[in-house]
Structure 1
Amino acid sequence: MNKSFQNRPFIGLSHRGNSKEFIENSLEAFKSVAKKGYKYIETDLRLTLDGHVVTFHDEDLKRLFDLDVKIKNLTLKEVNILFNKHKCELFTFEETLNYFPEIYFNIDLKIKEVVMKTINIVEKTKSFNRVCFASFKSLHTKMVLDKHPEAITSMGLTDVALFKFLKINRKNSNILQIPIKWNGIKILTKKLISDAKKRNLLIHVWTINNPNEMEELIDMGIDGIVTDEPDILMNVIKNRNLLES
């Protein structure tokens, strides 16, 4: 088990904060789940026009604000005008780390251009022990490890496939963050869990919102669940006496 990122048998990771009541990835969404008892938040990083690394998932603002404009073409101030209309605020990643010194962040490096800036932010805030660098693209986490071999990373799609089918763990990562299925292929199996435990690897499963499914996965022996339903998962955690302390 990676002591520096996960020092308990099971963790709940809030996916983009409390998006049920607030705009996802906003300061308010993060504050809400922190108050509910979450110590781990999954978020996404992109760049604004004025070069800020912000906690934002989509390439554009279509889904959240019905605006067909890319976030890279707006300044942080311009994006926050939209957030403020919903009584929310979008923080930079540096501001987020400073605002939540006790929270662990699992960050999805959406684009290559955000990688080095993010490394610099984590260096500046001395947060390597509470940040897990993640990306579908293994190249992005490789860039992190090339500069900081001690950094905590999860496996990208290529690395997950290599481990699942060939039992190859080719980089300094001990965390698999996976869906149950991907493009019709079952990723999570009892054998994968067994193989991971033999290699002392952690398995976090995303994105699980059904309480029965959460219970089944915990019984299977996984190490963490990413959810859009913070209240539901927290109830499961409390009922099983797995509450994060």
Structure 2
Amino acid sequence: MTLIFAHRGSAGTHPENTMSAFKEAARVGADGIETDVQLSKDGEVVIIHDEKLDRTTNASGYVKDRTLMELKTLNASPNFKGKLGKENIPTLEELFIWLNDNQLYCNIELKNTLFLYPGLEEKVIQLTRAYEMDERIILSSFNHYSLVKCHQLAPELETAPLYRDGLYMPWIYAKAIGGSAIHPNFRAAPDFVIQASLSMGIAVRPYTINEEAEMKRLFKLGCSAIITDFPEAAVRAREGLKSR
């Protein structure tokens, strides 16, 4: 069965990368969540997608220039004003504490691209081990050097390169850097790439799948998982195919 990962939580209906978005994903029956991590000024692992605060909070400037205490004063739900109230920027540890109460998988994207956060890999791995999440965590990044470092530090954890453009024989590339999955942009995941990767034992989880027709194509192909902003719609589409 193709699993459904909620992109930044249920980002299509709730403020992205907040606990309300993650809880909504669990409520509607997603199999996992996808989220993003960076480091605060004082070295805490925080959950937020953009390096800049401007789009998803009521502040401006860079995440890396604020301490955790400062980040916690911000509202991570400015675009949902009046609907869900104020939302905090969560820490990865807060997310792990919540994950202890369910069985969701968690794909953590290391935002090690615009800024190279020293120690990000080590801190994410340390928390993963401390909360015994090894079987449920997938580490991904557009920075493949970061993924190689993760694999060297923790070969027991699954790693998956993220990429946007066509990659020749990505199943071979993934194995070459210690990965056991690929996370391509859906435009870079034609049927033959998915089928070849799966046949070589490489899981395929394309992002960001928001159109029902695209969801159904990937479900029918037996794709390992899809990453979507609308997990409720994806669950409904998957159930619809089952009932035929």
Structure 2 length-normalised TM = 0.84
Distance 2:11 2:32 in 1: 15
Distance 2:131 2:200 in 1: 31
Could you tell me which residue of structure 2 aligns to residue 4 of structure 1?
A: none
Distance 1:55 1:107 in 2: 9
Q: Deviations over 1:58-101 (max 9, x none)?
A: 00111123633111111223222222774222221012111112
Could you tell me which residue of structure 1 aligns to residue 140 of structure 2?
A: 134
Distance change (3 Å), C-alpha of 1:164 and 1:173? closer
Q: Deviations over 1:13-41 (max 9, x none)?
A: 10001234432111111111111112300
Match of 2:169 among 163, 167, 175: 163
- Amino-acid identity (%): 25
Structure 1 runs (4+) greater than 4 angstroms displaced: 165-168
Distance change (3 Å), C-alpha of 1:165 and 1:17? closer
1:236 lines up with 2:237 in the alignment: yes
Q: Secondary structure at the match of 1:153?
A: strand
Could you tell me which residue of structure 1 aligns to residue 54 of structure 2?
A: 62
Greater CA drift, 216-225 or 161-170: 161-170
Greater CA drift, 187-196 or 48-57: 187-196
1:146 lines up with 2:152 in the alignment: yes
Distance change (3 Å), C-alpha of 1:191 and 1:167? farther
Distance 2:174 2:205 in 1: 18
Match of 2:181 among 171, 175, 182: 175
Distance change (3 Å), C-alpha of 1:167 and 1:75? closer
Q: Deviations over 1:130-150 (max 9, x none)?
A: 100100111111111111112
Distance change (3 Å), C-alpha of 1:195 and 1:22? closer
Greater CA drift, 166-175 or 232-241: 166-175
Q: Is the 8 A contact 1:141 1:156 kept in 2?
A: no
Distance change (3 Å), C-alpha of 1:22 and 1:189? closer
Q: How many residues align?
A: 228
Distance 2:230 2:90 in 1: 22
Distance change (3 Å), C-alpha of 1:172 and 1:94? same
Q: Is the 8 A contact 1:62 1:68 kept in 2?
A: yes
Distance 2:190 2:241 in 1: 23
Could you tell me which residue of structure 2 aligns to residue 194 of structure 1?
A: 195
Could you tell me which residue of structure 2 aligns to residue 95 of structure 1?
A: 94
Could you tell me which residue of structure 2 aligns to residue 219 of structure 1?
A: 220
Distance change (3 Å), C-alpha of 1:54 and 1:241? farther
Q: Is the 8 A contact 1:163 1:169 kept in 2?
A: no
Distance 1:171 1:156 in 2: 12
Distance 2:45 2:242 in 1: 37
1:50 lines up with 2:62 in the alignment: no
Query: Amino acid of the residue matched to residue 219 of structure 2?
Result: I
Q: Unmatched 5+ residue regions in structure 2?
A: 78-84
Root mean square deviation, CA, Å:
2.3
Structure 1 length-normalised TM = 0.84
